[in-house]
Amino acid sequence: MWDNYDIREINLDSPREVESVRAFLAAFDLTFTATVDYTIAFYQNNEMIATGSLAGEVLRNIAVSPQMQGEGLTADVVSRLIQQAGQRGIYHYFIYTKPSAAPMFTALGFKELARSEPHAILLEAGIGSIDEYCREISRKVEGLPSGSRAALVVNCNPFTLGHRAVISKAAQDNQAVVVLVVSEERSLFPFAVRLRLVQEGLAEFNNILVLPAGKYIISAATFPGYFTRGEATVMAQTRLDATIFARYIAPALGITKRYVGEEPYCATTCSYNDALADILPQYGIGLETIPRITVGGKVISASQVREFIRQDNWPAIKELVPDTTYKYLISPEAQPVLATIKAVDSRH
């Protein structure tokens, strides 16, 4: 059989080729998304027998026809995806798959990070690990005051008075607070800008440390559904992300409580808060949900700020954001970002 198959790179701009992969994956109850960077397929007698895709550091949509399983094709697919990743300068890899498939990948050297039965499991391999990440962030919080320590994970697209109110409450209730800003570049405001606006907006607090969240918190690996529509996998992803935070990240930071803002609008964020409420107490971590502040009877939200940007409603924007955010928004530096916001209708 090994002499009778060929390997092809899928043209992701070809609807016909993409549909062939989508149809093949459907038999395994897997969905295909065009947001991947690279897809490979194995064919025998012009029939697809295996496929896999690469999206940044994530190896995904790996499937082998039942009649070909046991022939080593899974290892070959993974090997070729890793080779492609290396050509792109990527040497650390995640696999997001079903728990039933985990043994195939642990046999190839992947380490399990977390699972959400019966839906999903996250594994990693390559250069770097969550243990190294935890050692790094642990060093960064050494200068914070001792005592009770809380954490918040924020996207801040952009940083608003609502974000500031929740974080301020955490700073009042605890000796120290760690604010982790989502690092994934899937938002209209670039990560570097979001991180800076959070740092500037909280500069007056001497017990708050703002850090990049990194690849293990609400990333394309741990929580791809945060940045895409569709509810089919949201429960699995929220629980995976919450478990990774509770099992690895909270102990590394010395966190005993996590704060979130009440979420009246976004179903995905609401599901995420529910997952945190279920999982964090299992690891001895509290969860505090803070009511969102309002202006004119409406909850302050980053999405409302972006809508006001589309409307050029600057008086309304000024009511919703700190002076530091407003100063950035009216600066020449922000003009390309504002132009992009006005050109697209994106929830992020």
Which band of pLDDT confidence, cut at 50, 70 and 90, is reported for residue 96?
A: confident
212: β partners: 181
Cα gap 281→119, rounded to integer Å: 21
What is the spatial distance between Cα 253 and Cα 210, in angstroms, rounded to a whole number?
12
180 and 152 Cβ atoms separated by less than 8 Å: yes
What pLDDT is stored for residue 226 in this prediction?
44
Residue 266: is its pLDDT beyond 80? no
pLDDT score recorded for residue 114: 92
Question: Would you say how long the chain is, in residues?
Answer: 348
The H or E element containing residue 257 is: strand 257-261
DSSP category for residue 59: E
Does 1 have pLDDT greater than 70?
no
What is the mean pLDDT of the segment spanning 266-284? 90
For position 32, what pLDDT does the model report? 84
What pLDDT is recorded for position 183?
A: 94
Q: Kindly report the backbone phi and psi dihedral angles of residue 319, in degrees, each rounded to the nearest multiple of 5, phi listed first.
A: -75, -15
What mean pLDDT, rounded, does the chain reach?
91
Which domains are seen in the chain, by residue range?
Answer: 2-128 (3.40.630.30), 131-343 (3.40.50.620)
Amino acid letter for position 225: G
**Is residue 4 classed exposed, middle or buried when 0-12, 13-18 and 19+ CB atoms within 10 A define those classes?**
exposed
What band does 41 get if pLDDT is binned at 50, 70 and 90? Answer: very high
- Residue 315 pLDDT: 97
pLDDT band at 224 (very low <50, low <70, confident <90, very high): low
Identify whether 118 is preceded by a cis peptide bond (ω within 30 of 0).
yes
Indicate if the pLDDT at residue 286 is higher than 60.
yes
pLDDT category, 233, cuts 50, 70, 90? low
pLDDT band (50, 70, 90) for residue 174: very high
Mean pLDDT computed over 29-49: 89
Bridge partners of 210, per DSSP, are: 179
pLDDT tens digits along 147-170: 999 999 999 999 999 999 999 999
What are the pLDDT digits (tens) for 250-259?
Answer: 999 999 999 9
